[in-house]
Amino acid sequence: MHGNEGGVRPGGGPVTVVAGLLDAPVIGSVTSVRPTAVVVGVDEGVAALTLDGRGMICDCDRAGGVLFNYRRSEMVWHHVSMLLPQLTDLSLTRNGQVDPRLRFLSRIGRPFAAATRDGRNFACELFFNVLDDSGHGRVSLIVRQVGEFAG
């Protein structure tokens, strides 16, 4: 959420979430944005997922279950697009590293749409980190809720 495009002005205002990664139509607006938490717990809107190179969820923490309203067993070995629809047809890794465009969008704080099991949608920031250099593309994904959709 840096710069002028799709972010929050210093005095507040809506965050625009887009359907695609770049220059895509708007799918909603965020009604509120939470400041970054210094200490993160289960109730802080932050979840950690481990993904394989194909985007399949290998593991998640308890906070992931709370944030997305799923049991761990319901998320593991499902594609991450179940939780983050914008990642449906996107290659998460390239040559064992996070896709450069996806990494860029996550680093600038571009909000992504997230979906819970009960149909609630929220805006989130994504943070990617490659877990090993084996070339298999195992990735740690931190999901931080930044707002609720207007609705």
**pLDDT at residue 5 tops 70:** no
pLDDT per residue over 41-62, tens digit each?
Answer: 455 789 999 998 889 999 999 9
Q: How confident is the model at residue 143 (pLDDT cuts 50, 70, 90)?
A: very high
User: From residue 111, how far is each of 71, 128, 149 by CA, in Å?
Assistant: 25, 14, 11
**pLDDT at residue 118 tops 70:** yes
Q: What span, in angstroms and rounded, lies between the C-alpha atoms of 53 and 57?
A: 10
Residue 106, in any domain of the structure = yes
Residue 77, in any domain of the structure = yes
Instruction: Label residue 143 exposed, middle or buried (CB < 10 Å: 0-12, 13-18, 19+).
Output: buried
Helices marked H in 56-95: 62-68, 72-75
Residue 8, in any domain of the structure = no
Residue 108, in any domain of the structure = yes
Q: Which residue did the predictor score with more confidence, 137 or 75?
A: 75
Q: Quote the domain boundaries for residue 68.
A: 46-148
Sign of torsion, CA 99 72 48 116?
positive
Total domains in the chain come to 1
Question: What single letter denotes the amino acid at residue 36?
Answer: T
CATH of the domain at 83: 3.30.450.20
Q: Token pair for residue 41? A: 């717990």
**pLDDT at residue 109 tops 80:** yes
Mean pLDDT computed over 89-104: 85
Residue 65, in any domain of the structure = yes
Residue 38, in any domain of the structure = no
Q: What span, in angstroms and rounded, lies between the C-alpha atoms of 65 and 127?
A: 18
